[in-house]
Structures are given as structure tokens and as C-alpha cells.
Structure 1
Amino acid sequence: MSTSKITCILFFLILFSACTKEEKEPSNEIMTAWKQEVLDAEAAFAQMAKEEGMNKAFLAFAADDAVLMRGNQLIIKKTGIAEYMKDQKSKGLAWSPEFVDVAKSGDLGYTYGYYTFSYEDQEGNPAEANGVFHTVWKRQEDGSWKFVWD
């Protein structure tokens, strides 16, 4: 076999091995830690909403490019969320996730569960609305988690 054929075969073997290199998956411990980080962010978000109101909490935990879906309306970016939330002073929103998962890349996660919204109806009587929430979280450059979809 000629030297040029051997060189060519070696080149393609090196190229092929570089293309098939597998990325190491995170350990169960790392995945569990990432899930806990998302749960901690979700708990802090819910606590702030309860103690300081929806407006402050949603703005504190929204990423700059976050999107809310309310009814059939999309509220886009943090500036849109600020405008939408400006009159929301209620502290009657409570929720807790039933499920959390995080991508193996460690940069996206999501939660879902049930919420309860307590408010006064048109006659001033206590009322309550219940539903399901789904939140997508994104790790920020500083390592914190902010929601990008709610």
C-alpha cells in the first residue's frame, strides 16, 4: 500500500473519530441538583408573589425575553410583562409544582402543577379560581434561573 493511501486512510479515520465523539451525560447527582435549583427558583417566585405581590414577583423572575400566555394573548418580553402586570397588586396567587425536569444540557428546565388564585368578586365577596400552570425556566449567564414561558 502506498504512503498516500495510508495517509488518506489515517486522515479519514481521525476525521471519523472526531465526528463520532460522544458527549458525557451528566450524572444523576448533577441532574438532581439542577432539578432542585429549578424547584428552589419556583418556590422563591411563589413566595415573593405571596408576600410582595404578583407584579413584583413576575418581574423579578422573568427573563428579558420571557413570554406569558394569558387567555389567547401573548405578552412578550419583560417590558410587555411589566405593562401587563402594572395593575396586578394581588397577593392571592399560590402554586406549587407537581413535576420538574431539566435538559441534560443543564440550561433549560420546566415545571407544571396547580395554582389557586384568590380574589374578590364584583360584589366584594371572596372568590377563587383554580387551574394548571406550566413554566419553562432558562439558566441565565450568572447561573440563576428565570422563566421564559408561563
Structure 2
Amino acid sequence: MKKAIVFFTLLTVLHFDSFSQSITKVEKEKVINEIRDVEKKFQDDLKAYGAEYAFYHYAAENAVIKRGNDSLIMGNLAIKKFYSNPVYKDAIAEWSPDYVDVSDDGSMAYTYGKYKWRIIDENGKTGVYEGVFHTVWKKMSDGNWKYVWD
């Protein structure tokens, strides 16, 4: 009986330990650099292809963005529709994460930093909007990073 208890205790510990695997410091730095690269590609794609494309392309299917005081836009298709507004057609956004952190298992990450949007209104006047962004990234089953919160 004691052997059975020891066996099942050991089995339980090994089972739960397999779910709590953490990445090494070197691997974490590699993932942090991946996230910085994804943020840069996101910004480059926004400049090249527009906000509608970029915010849709980098969004997970169930992504959520917060815009305005209380507006939550849920799902990548709703996000694409939001950015299809003509006001974003020629908009330019610039940002760079001041901070990046990664979960211990390397499957989630978050960034924050400053952003600046330049938006041209219907009268041709350029408005500049600045603030702080916070993005939560999730590694998808295909190995790509998509944001789940912005």
C-alpha cells in the first residue's frame, strides 16, 4: 500500500510539473526579441498596408481592443471593420515598446510604451494623438504571435 501511495504521489507531482515548465533566461531573451520583432513588423505593415490590414493581420480571432472611454471591439472581424473607417485610410502610427515581458512558459507576452497617431481628417487637417499602449500577445499553435488585447 505504501508503494502505491508513493507511486501515485510521484506520478501526480510529475504530472503537474509537466504543466509548469519554464523557459531559461536565454530562451526568454529570445522570445522577448521575437515580440519586439513582431511589434516592429506590425508597425511596418500599418505604414505599408494601412491600419485595417495591420490590426486585422496581427489580431487573434478572439482579440479585443479598447478604443475611446468605454468602447471594446471584440473579435478580429470587428477590429477589421473598426479600422475600415475612412479616417484610418492614411493614418500613420508609430510606437515602440518600452517594456516587454514573457510568461514563464513562453506562450504569452505583454508590451507597453508610447504611441503617436497622425490622422488626416476630411478637411485635410492632420491631428496628432499620443498616449500609452499596452498589448498582450499570445503564441498561436502555428508558432506565430497574435495580440489578444490592445
TM-score relative to the length of structure 2: 0.87
SS in structure 2 opposite 1:127?
strand
Match of residue 30 from structure 2: 33
Aligned length: 143
Structure 1: segments with no counterpart, 5+ residues:
1-7
Structure 2: segments with no counterpart, 5+ residues:
none
8 Å Cα contact 2:108/2:138 also seen in 1? yes
Match of 1:16 among 9, 27, 34: 9
Match of 1:60 among 57, 62, 79: 57
The letter of the residue matching 1:76 is M
Say yes or no: does 1:149 pair with 2:149.
yes
Match of residue 79 from structure 1: 77
Q: Larger radius of gyration, structure 1 or 2?
A: 1
Summarize the Cα distance change of 1:122–1:53 in structure 2 as closer, same or farther, 3 Å threshold.
Answer: closer
Structure 1 residues 88-127: aligned runs within 5 Å: 88-120=88-120, 124-127=124-127
8 Å Cα contact 1:69/1:75 also seen in 2? yes
1:11-57: CA deviations, max 9, x gaps?
Answer: 11111122233454311111111111111111100111122211111
State how far apart, in whole Å, the 2-side matches of 1:67 and 1:48 are. Answer: 19
TM-score relative to the length of structure 1: 0.87
User: C-alpha root-mean-square deviation of aligned residues, in Å?
Assistant: 1.6
State how far apart, in whole Å, the 2-side matches of 1:83 and 1:74 are. Answer: 13
